[in-house]
Amino acid sequence: GENVEQHPSTLSVQEGDSAVIKCTYSDSASNYFPWYKQELGKRPQLIIDIRSNVGEKKDQRIAVTLNKTAKHFSLHITETQPEDSAVYFCAASNNNAGNMLTFGGGTRLMVKP
């Protein structure tokens, strides 16, 4: 089955700095890679996703890059704000084999004002 590893497990940045979170996956058939943000006591919410036919996607301060050959993808947050503080999960799915998301272990991002 799929295995997703995520690094770092914790990340502390100063407000205004950039944050980068990296994930690797094992199943070369995976073709959908969402990123979820989960604030304390709340539900995971999708912030951005990328499909395997695209190398990069950007939405305002958030961008995701995908390297299929190396089987890794990354989340980039620019101009971080205190409200970006949360746990971020990457995930991978092979949607030709069912709607199963395999999550990475999570990154606790702390943005210091």
Partner 1 sequence: DTEVTQTPKHLVMGMTNKKSLKCEQHMGHRAMYWYKQKAKKPPELMFVYSYEKLSINESVPSRFSPECPNSSLLNLHLHALQPEDSALYLCASSQVGGGDEQYFGPGTRLTVT
Q: Which residues bind partner 1 (CB under 8 A)?
A: 31-32, 34, 36, 42-46, 49, 51, 89, 93, 95-96, 98-106
Q: Which is nearer to partner 1, 49 or 72 (CB)?
A: 49
Per DSSP, the three-state class of 25 is: strand
- Beta carbon nearer to partner 1, 28 or 81: 28
Nearest approach in angstroms of CB 76 to partner 1 is 20
- Closest approach of Cβ 60 to partner 1, in Å? 18
Q: Interior CA angle at 7 toward 88 and 13, to 5°?
A: 65
Q: Round to whole Å and give the CA distance between 11 and 98.
A: 33
Nearer to partner 1, 14 or 43 (CB): 43
CB of 102 to partner 1, least distance (A): 8
What is the smallest separation between the CB atom of 24 and partner 1, expressed in angstroms?
15
What 3-state class would DSSP assign to 101? coil
* Exposure string for 31-62, b = 16+ CB within 10 A, e = fewer: bbbbbbbeeeeeebeebbbbebeeeeeeeeeb
